[in-house]
Structure 1
Amino acid sequence: MDIPVFILAGLLVHCVFLVSIFDIYFSSPLVHGMTPQQTPLPPPAKRLVLFVADGLRADSLYELNSNGTPRAPYLRSILENNGSWGISHTRVPTESRPGHVALIAGFYEDVSAVAKGWKENPVEFDSVFNESKYTWSWGSPDILPMFAKGATGDHVYTFCYAAESEDFGAEDAAKLDIWVFDHVKSFFNSSRSNQTLFSALNEEKVVLFLHLLGIDTNGHAHRPNSREYQENIKQVDEGVKEIASLIDDFYGNDGKTAFILTSDHGMTDWGSHGAGHPSETLTPLIVWGAGVNYPQQVTSQFFEDNFLKEWKLENLKRIDVNQADVAPLMASLIGVPFPLNSVGTLPLEYLNSSAHFKAESMFTNAVQILEQFKVKMSQKKKTTLSFLFTPFKPLSDFEQINLLKKIRLYIQQQKYDEAVALCKTLINLALEGLSYYHKYDRLFLGLSIAVGFVGWTTYVILVIIKAHTNLTKTVPTNEKKSTVLFYSFASAGMIIAFFLLIQTCPWTYYVYCLLPVPVWYAVLREIPVIQDLATNVLSLHMGQSIGFLLVCILGIEILVFSFFYRSALTIGLLVFAGWPVITQLWIQAKMFSVALSTYVVSSTHNSLKNKQGLPVMNQIISWMTLVSSPVLLLLSPTFLFQRLFSILLSLMSTYLLFSTGYEALFPLALFGLMFAWINMEQEALQHYGLSLKPKLAVFNFTCAVDITQFRQLHLDDVRRSFFFVFFIVTAFFGTGNIASINSFDPASVYCFLTVFSPFMMGGLLLLKVAIPFVLVSCAFEAVQVTTQLSSKSLFLIVLVISDIMALHFFFLVQDYGSWLDIGTSISHYVLVMSLTIFMMVMNGLAQLLTTQRLGHPRRTKHHST
């Protein structure tokens, strides 16, 4: 296979492997076509006020100040005297969009939904807002529009401040919440002179939504333990008190208003969110007003987190819920249909209503989830051959009818507790059934991908052996056998395609199921190579072969293990450190750009600390450094050490601008390690009896390399490739857990911008992450050319190692257990698959950075084919 065709095929295959887990494990759970379900009894409240304090941690709200006073006096008095309280448990990813969708629509978006962004997204699901008579909302332009766009009719209204207001670096972000409170006050005042608005506000089934972003913004900018974050909580508390009083006065204290305060997610101590740490998943929930239970005194209660004693709330009943449970609670309080896609269970302990109302509400909840189950089952039945379809037996048609009849009979007989218990059983069965049909195709899709994975890895190994070793000999192609093989695989592909067609499967299924066909066809075409290899391997010393295999397996397992325990990288580094100590090489150079970057970081930090915002001059210098660094390094000579040192200085000046502390030293340490690696690999050449290469100090990247000087692969080259993968993994985890972007401090980008822009900030963070990769890739390029190897031969070994790791993580992907485990399993697989594709790009970039020089003619560096 030609090199360009091979690279293209490799990219396509790995893209398929990468995308497959989202179809197999994390496709959207949404179904459509359900009948709306509504409780037939009159609701306790006419209107609902929802306060979402974005980024508010449960402990930050409930814990007392050092002097024993509450941080939020009004809300503390509510949970002690007027309402019910607890913890709302969020799910990964702990981001604003999925958090609000869970609260307001009652279901958990699939992980890939985060990639759709925050702004201007069409509402592809039902919500409490959509089911309400009217909804008015105030707050961030990142959140409100997605619940207004796509809502049926014209009854969801939004009032947003400008996106530029979300500035992490300017004055206190509590102004965002003050804006919301002020505009709500103005709204009610203006309604007294607007009869249309006044009438609408006095309707039933009305929702008022106040999205309060200040706490989240202050948490990002100053950390949750800062004075700004805690002062913002106090300001929110005062604002909630004013709004609650204003609304009660407006409606003449009619006792028909229900209030809910909660959060979409929490925040880590370093000011980020997105993963599954308790500081991110534990959010407060306080409910009071119409239809809500008063505080319940208890003598003892137990929760694993042991927060109650710390919060001095051990004698007040704590009612924990899943975040999606808030949506059915809101729907029940104001009597609107439960959101069609909701998977939440109504938390009855929050309701202060009759046993009849509770039973009817739970029955509505159960039927609403059962409707989703029936639609999901019907869809799967239509796309599966009847003799292959296996229904979810615990909830057969007979069992559904039987449970519904029993519940209705219990309600008629006023056996409300029994009816509620049976409703919960039905809900649990329906949710299990939804999960069953959602995962229905997982086994055969997973097997297809695994077979494709093994086939591709086998093919790459055969290419390496055939083209870059002396273990096989060229055998003439048997045209007859080749033709039979082709038609056999073509027939198999047609049978698979026909099987998928009659089941009306999605087009992606064709890709996953047909991919193994051409891959294994390519493998079996190399049967003579496999036979030669088997013969040669048997003739080798068996102990040497087994030992080499065990070392390879151990090395790859260390790399896999390092994703779970970073300390495993220490083993590899200690082994590397055991090599003979080499002479250190010093190159003198001015470090003006590095010094300037250091000053900019320090100046920016001081300015933000003093709440003076991001200095414009610092911002200009930062962006100019970012743009000019790759250009300046191309002006340096292409002698090995001079060019590598120029790459370090240029990239380090940029990296400094992204740094917030001692992490700035990481590229320097990595650079020293790479120099040691290059020197040691050069010394190892004498074992092969090769002609002496020029000294490294005078080696020129642009020197034409005679293709006849390239040698065949040796077992030590596996080690070189392994070292490259090992150092790439070390770069992954050198300054943060890249498996979770939330481990990176948002302050990393403050030299470039402070106004909230998720995609720009994310892009800059990815650039920061890429810099250590570039250093490792350039060092690997130096190893390739100084050890007289073609880049293709070494890179193919790298491809095999990374693919074996990826297959390992493919089988570790899970969608059960804790949400931290689920998120980690996804990120590990995506990382390793992305790494394979990314290293292809890095290889090309490294060649560009090491061989090109501006203003000088380029002499091509040849590689074997």
Structure 2
Amino acid sequence: MGNKYFNYITHNSVTTSPRSNTHTRQCFPVLWSDSPDVTYRPAYVLTFKMRMITFFLIGLIVHVVFFISIFDIYFTSPLVHGMTPQTTPLAPPASRLVLVIADGLRVDSFFTLLPNGSSRAPYLRGVIEERGTWGVSHTRVPTESRPGHVALIAGFYEDVSAVAKGWKENPVEFDSVFNESRHSWCWGSPDILPMFAKGASGDHVHTNTYPAQEEDFASTDASRLDSWVFTQVKSFFQSAKSNSSLRSIVLQDKNVFFLHLLGLDTNGHAHRPMSQEYQDNIGLVDTGVAELVSIVEDFFGYDGRTAYVFTSDHGMTNWGSHGAGLPSETLTPLVAWGAGIQKAVGVTAPQQYDDGYLQDWNLEHLRRVDVSQADIAPLMASLIGVPFPVNSVGVLPLPYLNNTDLFKAESMYTNAIQILEQFKIKMAQKKETTLSFLFTPYQKLTESKQTEFILKARMLIQLEKFDDAISLCQSLISHSLEGLVYYHTYDRFFLGCSVVLGFVGWTSYVVLVILKTHANLIRHPSLLNKMPCRTLEKLCMCVTVVITGFLLIQRSPVTYYIYCLLPVPVWYSVLKESGILMDLIQSAPSLPLWKCFGYFVLVAFGIELLVVSFFHRAILTVGLAVLSLWPFLSGLFGKAKFRSVSWFLACLFLAFFPLMPVVGREPNIHLVTCAGLLAVFTSVCYLWSSRQRTPLHLGDRQQFITQMLHVAVCAYMPSFTHSSLQQKQGLPLFNQIISWITLGSSMLVPLLSSTRLFHRLLSIFLSFTATYLLLSTGSEALFLPVLSWLMFVWINIEQEAMLAQGVSVREELSIIDFSANIDIAKIRQLKLDDIRRSYFFVFFIITAFFGTGNIASINSFDPASVYCFLTVFNPFIMGGLMMWKVLIPFIIVMCTFETIQVVTQLSSRSLFLIVLVISDLMALHFFFLVQDYGSWLDIGTSISHYVIVMSMTIFLMLLSVVTHILTSKRLILWRKPKLHFP
């Protein structure tokens, strides 16, 4: 590399001092110099390191702000408060309501007949055919228990921010049918019932739940959860017969009885919806409902004043999960009968539904009435005469009502006024916080048009033109709902522009930092500051004052100040370094322009490839196929044939995984065992082949043997666990102890091994493979060994690429030590080929992210993945375990990237800055792809992609510190005592 020295530049001045070989690679060169008298001072090195830490922290804060912004822009709660409850002035048809929700019940499993023509639910089938109205309830994403129940009972679709609460706590207080009732008695899961009692006024919502430990996926029979509910309801009515005070309360009107049945959901997760356990559970629910109706009717003396609603909160995929937008998840059955409900209506003409289900269910002769899930809340409120939940956006499904036209018109009018009240509050709030000359009202529902709608509707009802009144009220509801969305997203464009401005500024600043500190540019001090610093500071101060004043006048939230003011210091930094662009222009004649342009085009195309891979995982297969040709196209094949062929084969093997179904659809525990044996075999082969080049010390040899035996045990553990669960013997305690010990030690065991490059990487691979096997259920277990193989080859082939470019490597890979101090004179600056290395890293990170479909969609989660650790339902622990499984391939790729920086003689910062630019460009792309129109699945997907990319960027910044510790640090648990001789 020649006799090179380094300049360190601060505030346009150069400080020098003598070279020291004790400096580690955390210190980075700014500019090269051939002057032999250039030196540096250790004090300046410390200052430079502090500046690097400051840069890292600022970058982390900026990305956290960008990440949080999406929640303020798209995930804010839609609820408003202060509305007046609205009630239909006519007498209700029912005195009480019985609501039964079969959690996780698939619509086809319920309606489809058995091969012999009988039904799995004969009682409810008889209700459909003789005395009730039926249809399909269409849910929204995410198809989870909490948002499903909120939509059913409160009538609105909860914002996704409730995920952070685990679907248990109330992010915001909301009204519900239970809250508006006189009394509500609820039986069922401790995950669902408390949230409706917590938000209710007074103490009229009574809950009775079983212990959370009962929700065990390893249970011999999860249907006992439903049996428990039916038993408790039966005991309740028996107690009410003998307890006069309780009986008097139960006999009052406007009461609700709610049964939450979790057995189907638990059996579906544990055994799949096509299992006999799931099918038998449907029969148990049907029998229980039949007995329930008999008990209720007997208690109330068959007075005909009880309304019944049977439905589900969400469906389930064939592989036993839910959360996304497949029809099997979003379509749920709805059956209503009793007081106020229209009886079965026969039809002769083809119905409007063309989904083909009617013929499959043999129900084409009966009228089908589909609803949105939130529509069920106003239906229940109308039946028992309680006020519609004030936050409800549901539209009353009139075909379910068996009542007079006057009652239907009045109920629809009440529904319209109730939603209009929300619109008025929302409009008033936005008008109050917006300057009058900037406020643009929703034109379809101005204050004059609101009055016109109300007066006209009342007049049509008085003139007994009920159909016209209903039509007008439905139009008013439609406009009110559109207006709610309009005002809810009123500031979205403004905030989006602020975030984009900050994004572009930050990315520009990082590019300038790369050019300034890691590029061979000809410096022109006279061009560094085209704009005097004082003028620039005054300009930024004026902009800050104007923005702050504007936000103060509008009484904007605190977060608005952050999003709007963040671009100011970012662009100040960009303009302050604008002289670097002049340096780049001056250096242009000496640069390989065509090569630069080619890299720019290839990276831009590669970024688009990664963006598309978020929508179509198979694109990763195409990308890996293209990457497999790199050694042959770059000329490396002639110099490293074996490594080039290994790279080619590893890429092709890895390319198969994105073509496979996502995790959980086709479990195969035998593949987990094979993956463990493969990992052990490859480790043995490596140690055998490298025994001459890098002989192992006794302690390292013992550790590797122990780790390989541990991997072998963990490869067998899932098979043993799942066999025990299938035999209904529960989770063995020994397996559970081994699993948790393996998880807890996965980050510590590698720190006990040698810090030699491949020795440490092998220890990391074995440690994390053991944990990964315990969290695997099928083909994804093979993903980690194949990915690790490719990463191993990548390290070797990058050294060949360095040699091919004429750069002398520091030493053989086999003797490189992570913890050794690195001579600062041997750390080189960035070259164009380093852009390729950075892109490879981002590509492999995305491949690790989506290669097995772990989080390609929310419904790919398979509870069976955590059965080695626990079987009792716990969303936080299960979610944490699944996230750790997702992060393990990340760690493998990140450790490889750390190794490549050592092998290619680069600073830890330089390559990562390029990675940061590529990741930010992807995030900016996804920010523009975020949409608030189309299906709820499309909206949720577009938002989640941005969140994933931003989370990945923030995570990589933090993980870079963790992987540096994981590769270069060593724990010494014991030392040999020193011998003292006289």
TM-score by length of 2: 0.86
Is 2:556 aligned against 1:505?
A: yes
Write the deviation string for residues 474-528 of structure 1: whole angstroms up to 9, x where unpaired: 6276598111101210110111011000110111111111111111011000111
- Aligned partner of 1:228 in structure 2 is 277
Kindly state the Cα deviation for residue 246 of structure 1 after the two structures are TM-superposed. Answer: 0.6
Distance 1:474 1:704, change over 3 A: farther
Structure 2 SS opposite 1:192: helix
The answer to whether the Cα contact below 8 Å between 1:218 and 1:229 also exists between their aligned partners in 2 is: yes
The answer to whether the Cα contact below 8 Å between 1:277 and 1:820 also exists between their aligned partners in 2 is: no
Structure 2 stretches of 5 or more lacking a match? Answer: 1-47, 632-636, 647-684, 689-703, 976-982
Kindly state the Cα deviation for residue 280 of structure 1 after the two structures are TM-superposed. Answer: 1.0
- Aligned partner of 2:31 in structure 1 is none
Structure 1 stretches of 5 or more lacking a match? Answer: 859-865
Aligned partners of 1:566, 1:267: CA distance in 2, in Å? 22
Is 2:597 aligned against 1:524?
A: no
The answer to whether the Cα contact below 8 Å between 2:529 and 2:578 also exists between their aligned partners in 1 is: no
Pairing partner for 2:87 from 14, 38, 42? 38
Pairing partner for 1:757 from 874, 877, 883? 874
Structure 2 SS opposite 1:606: helix
Write the deviation string for residues 519-570 of structure 1: whole angstroms up to 9, x where unpaired: 1011000111112123333664554333222111101001111101111112
- Aligned partner of 1:487 in structure 2 is 538
Structure 1 SS opposite 2:525: coil
Kindly state the Cα deviation for residue 603 of structure 1 after the two structures are TM-superposed. Answer: 0.6
- The CA RMSD over aligned residues, in Å, is 1.6
The answer to whether the Cα contact below 8 Å between 2:783 and 2:852 also exists between their aligned partners in 1 is: yes
- Aligned partner of 1:160 in structure 2 is 209
Distance 1:472 1:186, change over 3 A: farther
Pairing partner for 1:57 from 82, 101, 106? 106
- Aligned partner of 1:145 in structure 2 is 194
- Aligned partner of 2:670 in structure 1 is none
Write the deviation string for residues 590-618 of structure 1: whole angstroms up to 9, x where unpaired: 42011110121111010111111100111
Structure 1 SS opposite 2:242: coil
Is 2:297 aligned against 1:253?
A: no
- Aligned partner of 2:324 in structure 1 is 275
Aligned partners of 2:171, 2:949: CA distance in 1, in Å? 32
Write the deviation string for residues 296-335 of structure 1: whole angstroms up to 9, x where unpaired: 1122113243211111111111111111000000000000
Is 2:145 aligned against 1:28?
A: no
Pairing partner for 1:196 from 238, 245, 253? 245
Pairing partner for 2:734 from 614, 617, 642? 617
The answer to whether the Cα contact below 8 Å between 2:524 and 2:583 also exists between their aligned partners in 1 is: no
Kindly state the Cα deviation for residue 638 of structure 1 after the two structures are TM-superposed. Answer: 1.6
Distance 1:37 1:550, change over 3 A: same
Aligned partners of 1:630, 1:558: CA distance in 2, in Å? 33
- Aligned partner of 1:307 in structure 2 is 357
The answer to whether the Cα contact below 8 Å between 1:87 and 1:321 also exists between their aligned partners in 2 is: yes
Aligned partners of 1:433, 1:118: CA distance in 2, in Å? 28
Write the deviation string for residues 89-114 of structure 1: whole angstroms up to 9, x where unpaired: 11111111111111111001111112
The answer to whether the Cα contact below 8 Å between 1:348 and 1:358 also exists between their aligned partners in 2 is: yes
Q: Whose radius of gyration is greater, 1 or 2?
A: 2
Aligned partners of 1:640, 1:513: CA distance in 2, in Å? 46
The answer to whether the Cα contact below 8 Å between 1:678 and 1:782 also exists between their aligned partners in 2 is: yes
- Aligned partner of 1:471 in structure 2 is 521
Aligned partners of 1:392, 1:538: CA distance in 2, in Å? 57
Kindly state the Cα deviation for residue 690 of structure 1 after the two structures are TM-superposed. Answer: 2.5
Pairing partner for 1:108 from 152, 157, 177? 157
Kindly state the Cα deviation for residue 680 of structure 1 after the two structures are TM-superposed. Answer: 1.2
Kindly state the Cα deviation for residue 340 of structure 1 after the two structures are TM-superposed. Answer: 0.3
Kindly state the Cα deviation for residue 849 of structure 1 after the two structures are TM-superposed. Answer: 1.5
Amino acid in structure 1 at the alignment position of 2:807: L
Is 2:638 aligned against 1:582?
A: no
Structure 1 SS opposite 2:114: coil
| Deviates most, 781-790 or 59-68 | 59-68
Pairing partner for 2:436 from 386, 390, 393? 386
Is 2:116 aligned against 1:67?
A: yes
Kindly state the Cα deviation for residue 69 of structure 1 after the two structures are TM-superposed. Answer: 1.4
Is 2:521 aligned against 1:461?
A: no
Pairing partner for 1:364 from 411, 414, 432? 414
Aligned partners of 1:749, 1:59: CA distance in 2, in Å? 28
Structure 2 SS opposite 1:811: helix
Aligned partners of 1:536, 1:255: CA distance in 2, in Å? 90
TM-score by length of 1: 0.97
Structure 2 SS opposite 1:768: helix
Kindly state the Cα deviation for residue 573 of structure 1 after the two structures are TM-superposed. Answer: 1.1
Pairing partner for 2:347 from 298, 301, 320? 298
| Deviates most, 796-805 or 265-274 | 265-274
- Aligned partner of 1:208 in structure 2 is 257
Write the deviation string for residues 394-415 of structure 1: whole angstroms up to 9, x where unpaired: 1111111111111111111111
The answer to whether the Cα contact below 8 Å between 1:472 and 1:529 also exists between their aligned partners in 2 is: no
Write the deviation string for residues 3-61 of structure 1: whole angstroms up to 9, x where unpaired: 11111111111111111111112211111111111000101000000001111111111
The answer to whether the Cα contact below 8 Å between 1:84 and 1:287 also exists between their aligned partners in 2 is: yes
The answer to whether the Cα contact below 8 Å between 1:123 and 1:148 also exists between their aligned partners in 2 is: no
Amino acid in structure 2 at the alignment position of 1:634: L
Write the deviation string for residues 234-284 of structure 1: whole angstroms up to 9, x where unpaired: 101110110011101111110100000111111111111111111111111
Aligned partners of 1:4, 1:234: CA distance in 2, in Å? 63
Structure 1 SS opposite 2:310: strand
Kindly state the Cα deviation for residue 352 of structure 1 after the two structures are TM-superposed. Answer: 0.6
The answer to whether the Cα contact below 8 Å between 2:514 and 2:913 also exists between their aligned partners in 1 is: yes
The answer to whether the Cα contact below 8 Å between 1:327 and 1:344 also exists between their aligned partners in 2 is: yes
Aligned partners of 2:962, 2:194: CA distance in 1, in Å? 40
- Aligned partner of 1:809 in structure 2 is 926
Aligned partners of 1:499, 1:531: CA distance in 2, in Å? 36
Aligned partners of 1:593, 1:769: CA distance in 2, in Å? 21
Kindly state the Cα deviation for residue 844 of structure 1 after the two structures are TM-superposed. Answer: 1.4
- Aligned partner of 2:850 in structure 1 is 733
Q: How does 1:633-652 map to 2 (within 5 A)?
A: 633-652=750-769
The answer to whether the Cα contact below 8 Å between 1:205 and 1:336 also exists between their aligned partners in 2 is: yes
Distance 1:51 1:537, change over 3 A: farther
Structure 1 SS opposite 2:752: coil
Kindly state the Cα deviation for residue 193 of structure 1 after the two structures are TM-superposed. Answer: 1.4
The answer to whether the Cα contact below 8 Å between 2:316 and 2:328 also exists between their aligned partners in 1 is: yes
Q: How does 1:90-129 map to 2 (within 5 A)?
A: 90-121=139-170, 124-129=173-178
Aligned partners of 1:543, 1:657: CA distance in 2, in Å? 50
- Aligned partner of 1:423 in structure 2 is 473
- Aligned partner of 1:863 in structure 2 is none
Distance 1:692 1:22, change over 3 A: closer
Pairing partner for 1:629 from 746, 754, 760? 746
Write the deviation string for residues 146-192 of structure 1: whole angstroms up to 9, x where unpaired: 10113111211000111111111121110110000000000000011
Kindly state the Cα deviation for residue 120 of structure 1 after the two structures are TM-superposed. Answer: 4.7
Aligned partners of 2:338, 2:586: CA distance in 1, in Å? 82
Aligned partners of 1:194, 1:423: CA distance in 2, in Å? 45
Aligned partners of 1:675, 1:479: CA distance in 2, in Å? 48
Q: How many residues align?
A: 858
Amino acid in structure 1 at the alignment position of 2:233: V
Aligned partners of 1:139, 1:678: CA distance in 2, in Å? 55
Pairing partner for 2:498 from 402, 427, 448? 448
Amino acid in structure 2 at the alignment position of 1:137: C
Aligned partners of 1:692, 1:16: CA distance in 2, in Å? 41
Percent identity, aligned pairs only? 62
The answer to whether the Cα contact below 8 Å between 1:49 and 1:207 also exists between their aligned partners in 2 is: yes
Aligned partners of 2:784, 2:755: CA distance in 1, in Å? 21
Q: How does 1:593-608 map to 2 (within 5 A)?
A: 593-608=710-725
Distance 1:256 1:843, change over 3 A: same
Is 2:712 aligned against 1:662?
A: no
Kindly state the Cα deviation for residue 737 of structure 1 after the two structures are TM-superposed. Answer: 4.4
